[in-house]
Structure 1
């Protein structure tokens, strides 16, 4: 039996024995109906019964485990007294992985993960990549932009 379950009438717990043990608990779902699941055992693909609770857990993951795996592929270890830098690097890492997944969905011939990361870094290291692209932009306010008017009376002191 590849799974085990217990219930007290309110909470249902299921333990699924896959490559590693997965334990899930629910107050809504049970193990029934059992779903047929193909699994490789001793070089052959065999049908195994999978509890409905585990199947819905796997369907609800929605790529979270894939995101975790891709984050760990090229993990950057940042050590220091300030956690802000580590949090910022982690946010950049998550954004890069998400952008790579979008790139894979959008393109027929997509880049490998490492090559995509290198392309992003090379683009961000270009000196003009983050500069304003508008050439007609005035950086300084001239005297013509200033408004000249007499000052009104103060609301607080009525002067």
Structure 2
């Protein structure tokens, strides 16, 4: 099965479970790292996420995976919080954190830098615009590997 189709199927399968348990379905990724497959489901809540929350969701997801068996290869299931320094994966995530401080990991140099930090001002399908202490930068999205919220502890 095509990976994108599989991911969409998994999202459709797990989003209602996570929501029913009282959590926000933040993101899902199915990735290979060091020759192993990982199914990662990120959950969130206004009250924060603890280990018991992850365990509760993991048990329900595991039951569904056993029943549906949608993944033909072996994998490890991980359920976790996106964390304070969360990756902003989607446009919905970016929109939620407009005027927040972010860090951008770039796949090539932008004005001599591979990492930029600043306040997220706006974005569109082509660019993410941030403002640091002195300048506004419009960074092409195709040069961005990762957008990370600079949370406060």
Higher helix share: 1
The structure number with the bigger radius of gyration is: 1
Q: Output the TM-score relative to the length of structure 1.
A: 0.22
Q: Output the TM-score relative to the length of structure 2.
A: 0.23
Higher strand share: 2
